[in-house]
Amino acid sequence: MGFLNEMNIPFEIRNVTANPAYLSEIEEISGQSKSPTLIIDDEILPDASVEDVAQVLEKRGMVI
């Protein structure tokens, strides 16, 4: 979250622990239940690191 905040990139937090429907959605989309899972456009990043997120955002021209 800190990285996305620093880059002023909007995001939505969905607590899979508090809402089992969110967990089911992540399992259906990604085939796994790792948290955090980020979905950036059409790219699914289970258990993503800051570097993983930066790489995807850079490909989209959102991070220099």
Tokens read off for 22:
């969110």
Residue 51: count other Cβ atoms within 10 Å of its Cβ: 9
How confident is the model at residue 1, as a pLDDT? Answer: 74
Q: Is 29 helix (H, G, I), strand (E, B) or coil?
A: helix
| Residue 45 structure tokens | 């990043």
pLDDT in tens, the chain (64 residues): 788 999 888 999 999 999 999 999 999 999 998 888 999 988 999 988 999 999 999 998 887 6
Q: Which residues pair with 45 in a beta bridge?
A: 38
